[in-house]
Amino acid sequence: MTEEQCRQARRYLAQAKRVVAFTGAGISAESGVPTFRGSDATWKGIPAAVASSIGLLEQDLTTAWEWFDYRRTLLKAVSPNAAHIALAQAEKRFAEFLVVTQNVDGLHQKAGSARVVELHGNIWRGRGLRSGRRYDLPAAPLPALPPRGDGDEPLRPDVVLFGEMLPAGAFEEAEIAAARCDACLVIGTSGVVYPAALIPLAARDAGAAVIEINPEATDLTPHLTLSLRGRAGDIVPRLFEDVA
């Protein structure tokens, strides 16, 4: 990232009243959150993609929960990084500010962000298999698997699994915000997961300045206003230094 690129991004933000920050796995990876990506990512000999699939949950709810409680255990000691904190602090400086995240780790809320749309759910919650009711879960490890809600209803992880649709209303809320924002930050996402990757494109099509922050080029890069190369924790705080 050059100084001129940074100044240009600040100018876009200084002129904005409505901002959407669209975040992906990269922002949390900087906090030490494992991504479990790649063909060699396994758990107990099970490919991570299979462990995170609706197929395994329907076949063996207890094993599915063992996988997700293992992930929750890894996340217990993880803290928000400078990028999460900068976004939370920036929320108060704009008329409208919305974080739209593909992450399930809850780090944006932990950093203090009040308005967060979780496209893929939250690993710290469970959802009733019959009722769909959401429950906040105790810290990992859970005392019994699967956890249960009212009336002894078994819960499932409140996350979007491979083979499932996004939660009702989440994508629509994000898309509406993107279509009316003045600036959209695209932070730490490869732009290959759909329909989530349509969010920055909706902002671009509506005339917003769309600013990418990523260590490397992505599928979205050619379609965006400005692309800043580097770590989110280094760049995001700098973008708001001169924003009133």
pLDDT tens sequence across 208-228: 999 999 999 999 999 999 999
| Residue 66, domain extent | 42-76+127-155
Query: Are residues 214 and 145 part of one domain?
Result: no
In a domain, 173, yes or no: yes
176 located within any domain: yes
CA nearest 121: which of 88, 80, 167, 164?
Answer: 167
* Each residue's pLDDT expressed in tens, for the chain with a length of 244 residues: 788 999 999 999 999 999 999 999 999 999 999 888 766 789 999 999 999 999 999 999 999 999 999 999 999 989 999 999 999 999 999 999 999 999 999 999 999 999 999 999 999 999 999 999 999 999 899 999 999 999 999 999 999 999 999 988 999 999 999 999 999 999 999 888 889 899 999 999 999 999 999 999 999 999 999 999 999 999 999 999 876 5
For 81, half-sphere exposure in the C-beta direction (CA atoms, 13 angstrom radius) is: 18
Residue 85 and residue 113 in one domain: yes
Q: Does one domain contain both 137 and 93? A: no
Q: Tell me the C-alpha distance between 34 and 26, whole Å.
A: 10
Same domain, 29 and 132: no
Say if residue 134 is in the same domain as residue 235: no
Looking at the structure, do residues 88 and 186 belong to the same domain, yes or no? Answer: yes
Residues 156-173 pLDDT 10s: 999 999 999 998 899 999
Let me know if 2 is exposed, middle or buried by CB neighbors in 10 A (0-12, 13-18, 19+).
Answer: exposed
The verdict on 195 and 216 lying in the same domain is: yes
> Are residue 24 and residue 48 in the same domain, yes or no?
no
Q: Is residue 231 part of a domain?
A: yes
Q: Is position 160 within any domain?
A: no
Model-level pTM greater than 0.75? yes
Residue 242 has a pLDDT of 72
List the one residue out of 155, 153, 164 whose CA is nearest residue 125: 155
CA 24 to chain centroid = 5
Residues 142 and 68 in one domain: yes
Query: Are 140 and 231 part of one and the same domain?
Result: no
Alpha-carbon distances, residue 160 vs 53, 114, 195 (angstroms) = 9, 21, 13
Residue 244 domain-assigned?
A: no
Active site residues: 120
Q: What is the CATH number of the domain that holds 86?
A: 3.40.50.1220
| Tokens 């005339």 sit on residue | 207
The burial class, CB within 10 Å (0-12 / 13-18 / 19+), for 133 is: middle
- Examine the domain organization and report whether 51 and 136 are in the same domain: yes
Give helix 82-90 / helix 232-239 axis angle, nearest 10°.
20
How far is 70 from 2, CA to CA, in rounded Å? 40
**159 contacts 104 by C-beta, under 8 angstroms:** yes
Residues 108 and 8 occupy one common structural domain: yes
The number of folded domains in the chain is 2
